[in-house]
Structure 1
Amino acid sequence: MAISIKLSDELVDQARRYGHVFQRSTPKQIEYWSRIGQIAEENPDLPYAFIKEILLADQEAKDGQLTSYEFGPNER
C-alpha cells in the first residue's frame, strides 16, 4: 500500500543524488536506506558492507544465480 508522507527537502535531495548514482528512483533510494537501517538496527554487530553482501546474495538466490560449492579432498 502506497501512502504519502512528508520528508525534509534535504533528505529528498540526498536521495535523488544517491539514487541517480546507483540507478534508483528517489523513492526506491529512500526504501533502500530504510531497509539497510532496519537490518542494522536488528543486527547492530553487522558492518554495513556485510549487510550489503547479504542483500546481494539474497537477490542472487531469488534470481536463481546459485552455484554448488565443491569440497576439495582435504575439506571434509
Structure 2
Amino acid sequence: MPLLDLDQVIAVHDEIIERLGGIVGFANGGRGGVEGALKRIEMHQLYGHMVDVFSIAALYAAALARGHVFNDGN
C-alpha cells in the first residue's frame, strides 16, 4: 500500500491550518521531524506487515502527534 510522502503530509497540515486557523510551521525538528515520523510508519508497514488502511491511518495520527512535529499539530 502506498504511503503519504513528506510533501503530501505538510500540504494537508497547511491546508487545515489555513481553513481552521492555528499556528503555522514546524516544531523543533523542522521538516526532519515530519520525515522521522513518516519513517516510523514506513517501518511499521514493512516489518509489521500492516496492510489494513485503518491501522496505517492510526499510525499516522500517533506518529505525528507523539513526534510533536508541527507547532499546532497536537
Q: What TM-score comes out, normalization by structure 1 length?
A: 0.37
- Greater Rg over alpha carbons, structure: 1
Q: What TM-score comes out, normalization by structure 2 length?
A: 0.38
Higher RCO (C-alpha under 8 Å, 6+ residues apart): 2
